[in-house]
Amino acid sequence: MSTTTSEAHKHVPHTPFHLPRPRFRKPSQLIQPLDDTHVHEVPPTASETGNSGDDEGLGPQDGVNVQDNEEPEDEDVVDPGSLFEQHLSDNAPSGSLSQQSVHRDDEENPFQYEDDTQSPNFVPNIDDIRISYKFINELRSAKLDSPIEPLDDTLLQQILDPPQHLLEVENPDERLSLELYLATTHTSEETYTNACVAVTRRFPDCRLLSYYMVKKLVEKLSGVSPIVRDMCVNSCIGYTGPYASIEDCPHCGETRYKIQGKKKIARKQFTTLPLAPQLQALWRTTEGAASMQYRQNCTKAAFEELERNNGVKVSAYKDFFDGSDYLEAVAEGKIADNDMVVLLSIDGAQLYRNKASDCWMYIWVVLDHDPSNRYKVQHVLLGGVIPGPNKPKNLDSFLFTGLYHISAIQQAGGFRIWNAKSGQIFMSNIFLALVSADGPAMSCLNGFVGHHGRVHCRFYCPLIGRHKPGGPHYYPARLKPLGFTVTGCDHDDVDINALLSSFTSRDAEKAYNHNLSRVVVSRTKTEYQARRLQTGVVKPTIFSGLDPNMMLGVPGIFAGDCMHLPALNIPDLYIPLWRGTFDCDSTDTKGNWSWAVLKTQAAWKAHGQDVVAATPFIPGSFGRPPRNPAEKISSGYKAWEFLLYFFGLGPCLFYNLLPKDYYEQYCKIVQGIRLLIQEEILPDEIRLADKLITEASNSFEELYVQRRTDRLHFVRASVHAPSHMPYETIRIGPGIIYSQWTMERMIGFLGMDIRLHSNAFANLTNIAITRAQNNALIAMFPDFRPKPKLLPRGAVDIGDGYQLRRARDSCSRAVTELEAQAISRYFLDLGFSTDDDGTPFDDNYNPVVVRWARVLLPNGQIARSRWKENLKPINKLRAARSVRVTLSGRLQYAEVHFYLSWHIHNIEKHFAVASFYGEPHQGILKQSSHSYYTVQHKCDVDVRAFDIKSISAVVMMAPDPRYGTVFQDGSEKDRYYLMEKPGLKLGRLFGWEEDDTES
Ligand SMILES: [Zn+2]
Ligand SMILES: [Zn+2]
């Protein structure tokens, strides 16, 4: 890389490595915003939160005008596809793509395997735009004490004037009640009551609180009280904002109230948990306040690095705070040291299988926490719960309540927080960093057309789709099919690198604003639909109601989905192609699909068996192993299963199965994605991933589509979307930081509680509230935090995150000759000539040893050993004895026999004795872009001992079923192939812990 600005990269289509660098021109300027002078000042009183003046007007700002007048609308629009096409040719824009580019790719059939594919019933029309602007405008004039979103007095008081002391519960009975309550959170009310009865029986003077009273106390102490608003019984809308005073649902006509006696009672309600008190709670202990320092430290380090290296980042991307968008926002003074940076994640959940139980939820992830803490359930804050049974028809109306309070705080320049560490009140503002959602939810949030649009890309890049003659769907095909003459999309081939390297999130924002302004002024439905088609913009997003200085821009705020895209959408493209089950036009014939190697039942079954055969060798720490795809792929095959199957086992299992070119294309996408789902990604790895993904994307069109119009439908959004991932990493950090995995886990966790109860929705809401209150209470009251886990029985902490764990020999044992030699060599290399008994370390060395069976690694994995694993039947095994070690700076893989802990001349040495795997087959490694690592493993040949702390991970080494189909060189009998855990530390981030069973 010789240049550092994106400008310089324009028109360099043939240089594969030209990702834009963060655009920092004068690094010295960038340090400035970290200065204390940029911290928001604390105003004299807490209650000055804004001025009055109700904006009744609907006119959006920024020169955008919604036509309020009722224009006659064309109702006879039957086929949007053909209509769009006609208007497209009428209004075909000339020249610059950036004029027209727009929106959202999501994945095709994001939930095909989850039985959850339909998008929400959003029916765009101009009324919708009007309603959207009403929400946006009310947000823009939000005030904490406004009647639009009234808060009860206690809550308002809490936000405006937080308590300025450590939380203390002096009454010992109340204290014991609280401890009992928190200890029984995941059980039932009955458990709490029974515990209280037991305590009182022994200590009759104890006056423990009833369940009801203790809950009240928790609510009071936590400062988290739910805000409840009415909603449609069919979950179409929440009665908020412009819907606040209506009495019938505008979508389904159901009434809002039922009459009970003389009273009108809301038929259904939803719950919002205001963010501010939950954020205040995080600062209410000295430890809590200290841990909030993380972001400032990262920011400082990031700017210092850029300063040192002339604006070029060389260290790994680890967090959102490494991304150029964040650093620019800081440099521009948008984010002060004391502000809190949050991410919103929203998702729908099916609470029960086979039961109508759709429910939506949103959470706040506080990025100011260190990533190792951030995603733990007790640190994720709940935003709101939207009960089912259906998907919301207007999601804005449900988000409105939660966003309103944030907007009010932003408008007021922040809110007051008491810092327990400094004992001071300070002003903090809330910066909304990102919004993440899966495909269907995202289309409600960002207001883009979706993945079949002419301008489909969710990042609003200027790629224009192509459609088949007369067909309604556009596909992001970059290569122009032969003889292709469809007006409006018969542009020449597009070079993806040229397109993306000169494209920034600011370009996207500019184009978006421009196009939005065109769409919203549409006078007739016909005009609206034509413009919508041209621009990909359906309506403004509710997030444009927030302070533009306190969020990343639109569409930059909408993060890509690094869970569904790789784990579901990409496999969902390739596997049906390989099985020959993909749609085939009548002019095409599957007989010509040379890639359809799994077309026959026999082939598909045999492949499925290969997947199953790997199971005993996939370590337990890898999570759920993939089930047999030939049997289960269409019944709830999970994202994680796909990740292990398609991106883990695949490069071996598809070797010499797919035709060579197709195999190589597949490996490129696999390796590119593997690099980008890591939790730490080096700039060089981003460049490599970009190269691989670009090549894979090019080859996909060449190999599968072959410039045939009747195969345009192969080019799904999931062919284009990965091309953005490298750029997105530079912009907002590794995808894992904002992936939907967090949300899924949260829902899973709540789900466990919910299943204890009978009425799912009512209970979900209660559980959500309880959790938010408990979390806030625990945050303020470290005494209530569960005690850190003690070492398991018999374990020995050997430092740096490593622990020896049982089993352990009860008496000394002899070892094999090779093992003895390995031990002897290990000590000789360390400079010892004899052991403590004076026996020399030589070829005749023959010690007796006490073996250890397991070691806990700093990444949370537990490495095991051949000693104990060999005692288990293969069908009970999830082998975890193969490890990755770094010796003399070189990565190697070894099968551990056992671990030892020795005193030698008053020094303690902890080491492993292991058989090393051989060298990988270089030809295959190269052909597979380093994704297929196959080695020969002759047990007990190359036995060596090494420090336990040189072990960095547990890996899968499974018998290789494919090598021998090409090579019969004698090594095919004991060939093994490697799979490393995708994302590696991913599980740990989310509080995953390996089951700690001995043996
Ligand atoms: Zn309704
Ligand atoms: Zn794009």
Helix, strand, or coil here: 907? Answer: strand
* 216 vs 988 pLDDT, higher one: 216
% of the chain at pLDDT higher than 70: 82
Q: What is the radius of gyration, based on Cα positions, of the chain?
A: 30
Pairwise CA distance, residues 455 & 711, whole Å: 19
User: Is residue 997 included in any domain, yes or no?
Assistant: no
243 Cα to the center of ligand 1, angstroms: 12
DSSP assignments along 285-335, one per residue: SHHHHHHTTHHHHHHHHHHHHHHHTTT---SPB-SGGGSHHHHHHHHTT-S
439 Cα to the center of ligand 1, angstroms: 23
Pairwise CA distance, residues 205 & 184, whole Å: 22
Local confidence band at 123 (pLDDT 50, 70, 90 cut-offs): very low
251 Cα to the center of ligand 1, angstroms: 5
Are the beta carbons of 864 and 850 closer than 8 angstroms?
no
253 Cα to the center of ligand 1, angstroms: 6
Local confidence band at 456 (pLDDT 50, 70, 90 cut-offs): confident
Which range (62-66, 133-137, 657-661) has the least confidence? 62-66
Ligand nearest to the CA of 236: 1
Together in a domain, 282 and 427: yes
102 Cα to the center of ligand 2, angstroms: 8
* 380 vs 820 pLDDT, higher one: 820
pLDDT in tens, 224-268: 888 999 999 999 999 999 999 999 999 999 999 999 888 999 999
Ligand nearest to the CA of 722: 2
Local confidence band at 205 (pLDDT 50, 70, 90 cut-offs): very high
Over 90: is that where the pLDDT of 722 sits?
A: yes
Amino acid 173: pLDDT: 93
Amino acid 889: pLDDT: 87
148 Cα to the center of ligand 2, angstroms: 38
25 Cα to the center of ligand 2, angstroms: 26
User: Is residue 257 included in any domain, yes or no?
Assistant: yes
Which range (393-397, 678-682, 798-802) has the least confidence? 678-682
116 Cα to the center of ligand 1, angstroms: 21
250 Cα to the center of ligand 1, angstroms: 7
Q: Which of 550, 584, 610 is the last residue of a domain?
A: 550
987 Cα to the center of ligand 2, angstroms: 29
Ligand nearest to the CA of 507: 2
Ligand nearest to the CA of 697: 2
Helix, strand, or coil here: 840? Answer: strand
538 Cα to the center of ligand 1, angstroms: 21
Ligand nearest to the CA of 255: 1
Which range (423-432, 498-507, 913-922) has the least confidence? 498-507
117 Cα to the center of ligand 1, angstroms: 21
Together in a domain, 260 and 320: yes
Work out the angle at residue 432's Cα, subtended by the Cα atoms of residues 430 and 436, and round it to the nearest 5 degrees.
145
Amino acid 291: pLDDT: 85
- Helix intervals (H) in 412-477: 439-446
686 Cα to the center of ligand 2, angstroms: 17
- Pick from 722, 111, 162: which is nearest to 439 by CA? 111
User: Is residue 818 included in any domain, yes or no?
Assistant: yes
pLDDT in tens, 536-588: 888 899 999 999 999 998 899 998 888 788 888 999 999 999 999 999 999 99
Ligand nearest to the CA of 456: 2
Q: Which of 784, 817, 843 is the last residue of a domain?
A: 784
Over 90: is that where the pLDDT of 220 sits?
A: no
Ligand nearest to the CA of 718: 2
pLDDT in tens, 522-541: 888 888 888 888 888 888 99
Mean pLDDT, residues 400-412 taken together: 96
Q: Which of 524, 550, 576 is the last residue of a domain?
A: 550
Ligand nearest to the CA of 465: 2
Helix, strand, or coil here: 137? Answer: helix
Q: State which residues have CB under 5 angstroms from ligand 2, the bound ion.
A: 457, 459, 461, 463
Beta bridge partners, 514, equal none
Together in a domain, 266 and 225: yes
675 Cα to the center of ligand 2, angstroms: 20
What values do phi and psi take at 510, rounded to 5? -60, -50
Ligand nearest to the CA of 249: 1
% of the chain at pLDDT higher than 90: 56
Ligand nearest to the CA of 97: 2
pLDDT in tens, 170-194: 899 999 999 899 888 777 788 999 9
User: Is residue 722 included in any domain, yes or no?
Assistant: yes
Residue 335 zone, left/alpha/beta (φ > 0; ψ -120 to 50; rest): beta
Together in a domain, 319 and 375: yes
65 Cα to the center of ligand 1, angstroms: 28
56 Cα to the center of ligand 1, angstroms: 25
Which residue pairs, CB below 8 angstroms and at least 24 apart, start in 905-912? 905/832, 905/836, 908/798, 909/827, 909/830, 909/947, 910/798, 910/802, 910/804, 910/947, 910/948, 910/949, 911/826, 911/945, 911/946, 911/947, 911/948, 912/855, 912/883, 912/945, 912/946, 912/947, 912/948, 912/951
- Helix intervals (H) in 379-492: 396-411, 439-446
105 Cα to the center of ligand 2, angstroms: 8
Amino acid 503: pLDDT: 82
How many C-beta neighbours within 10 Å does residue 670 have? Answer: 25
Ligand nearest to the CA of 268: 1
840 Cα to the center of ligand 1, angstroms: 85
Amino acid 83: pLDDT: 22
Ligand nearest to the CA of 494: 2
Ligand nearest to the CA of 455: 2
Q: Based on the number of CB atoms within 10 Å of its own CB, is 107 exposed (0-12), middle (13-18) or buried (19 or more)?
A: buried
As a whole number, the mean pLDDT across the chain is 82
Q: State which residues have CB under 5 angstroms from ligand 1, the bound ion.
A: 232, 234, 236, 249, 251-252
Dihedral (CA of 32, 36, 42, 43) sign: negative
Together in a domain, 731 and 609: yes
385 Cα to the center of ligand 1, angstroms: 17
Pairwise CA distance, residues 793 & 812, whole Å: 20
Together in a domain, 229 and 335: yes
956 Cα to the center of ligand 2, angstroms: 35
Tokens 């939660």, residue?
402
User: Is residue 451 included in any domain, yes or no?
Assistant: yes
Amino acid 45: pLDDT: 35
User: Is residue 760 included in any domain, yes or no?
Assistant: no
Amino acid 767: pLDDT: 78
Together in a domain, 416 and 478: no
97 Cα to the center of ligand 2, angstroms: 12
Ligand nearest to the CA of 248: 1
Mean pLDDT, residues 274-281 taken together: 91
Q: Containing domain of residue 107, as a range?
A: 7-137+444-550
- Pick from 464, 541, 443: which is nearest to 101 by CA? 464
542 Cα to the center of ligand 2, angstroms: 22
pLDDT in tens, 291-330: 888 999 999 999 999 999 988 899 999 999 999 999 999 9
Domain count, the chain: 4
225 Cα to the center of ligand 1, angstroms: 27
345 Cα to the center of ligand 2, angstroms: 22
pLDDT in tens, 730-784: 999 999 888 877 777 776 776 666 555 555 566 677 778 888 888 888 877 766 6
Helix, strand, or coil here: 870? Answer: coil
Ligand nearest to the CA of 392: 1
**DSSP 3-state percent helix, strand, coil across the chain (nearest 5):** 40, 15, 45
Together in a domain, 247 and 379: yes
The verdict on whether omega for the bond into residue 555 sits within 30 degrees of 0, i.e. cis, is yes
Pairwise CA distance, residues 987 & 741, whole Å: 10
234 Cα to the center of ligand 1, angstroms: 5
Pairwise CA distance, residues 117 & 7, whole Å: 40
Helix, strand, or coil here: 719? Answer: helix
Local confidence band at 819 (pLDDT 50, 70, 90 cut-offs): very high
User: Is residue 203 included in any domain, yes or no?
Assistant: yes
232 Cα to the center of ligand 1, angstroms: 5
Together in a domain, 218 and 182: yes
Mean pLDDT, residues 399-420 taken together: 95
720 Cα to the center of ligand 2, angstroms: 6
Are the beta carbons of 32 and 15 closer than 8 angstroms?
no
Together in a domain, 305 and 191: yes
Type of residue found at 525 = K
Pairwise CA distance, residues 861 & 983, whole Å: 13
Ligand nearest to the CA of 503: 2
* 648 vs 43 pLDDT, higher one: 648
Over 50: is that where the pLDDT of 21 sits?
A: no
Over 50: is that where the pLDDT of 197 sits?
A: yes
400 Cα to the center of ligand 2, angstroms: 29
Ligand nearest to the CA of 106: 2
Over 60: is that where the pLDDT of 56 sits?
A: no
462 Cα to the center of ligand 2, angstroms: 7
118 Cα to the center of ligand 2, angstroms: 23
Mean pLDDT, residues 971-997 taken together: 69
Local confidence band at 458 (pLDDT 50, 70, 90 cut-offs): confident
User: Is residue 875 included in any domain, yes or no?
Assistant: yes
Together in a domain, 399 and 510: no
Which range (211-225, 405-419, 446-460) has the least confidence? 446-460
Ligand nearest to the CA of 234: 1
How many C-beta neighbours within 10 Å does residue 889 have? Answer: 5
Pairwise CA distance, residues 16 & 668, whole Å: 14
Ligand nearest to the CA of 389: 1
Together in a domain, 431 and 450: no
Ligand nearest to the CA of 397: 1
Ligand nearest to the CA of 391: 1
Mean pLDDT, residues 671-682 taken together: 91
239 Cα to the center of ligand 1, angstroms: 10
Residue 628 zone, left/alpha/beta (φ > 0; ψ -120 to 50; rest): beta
Which range (113-127, 194-208, 793-807, 845-859) has the least confidence? 113-127
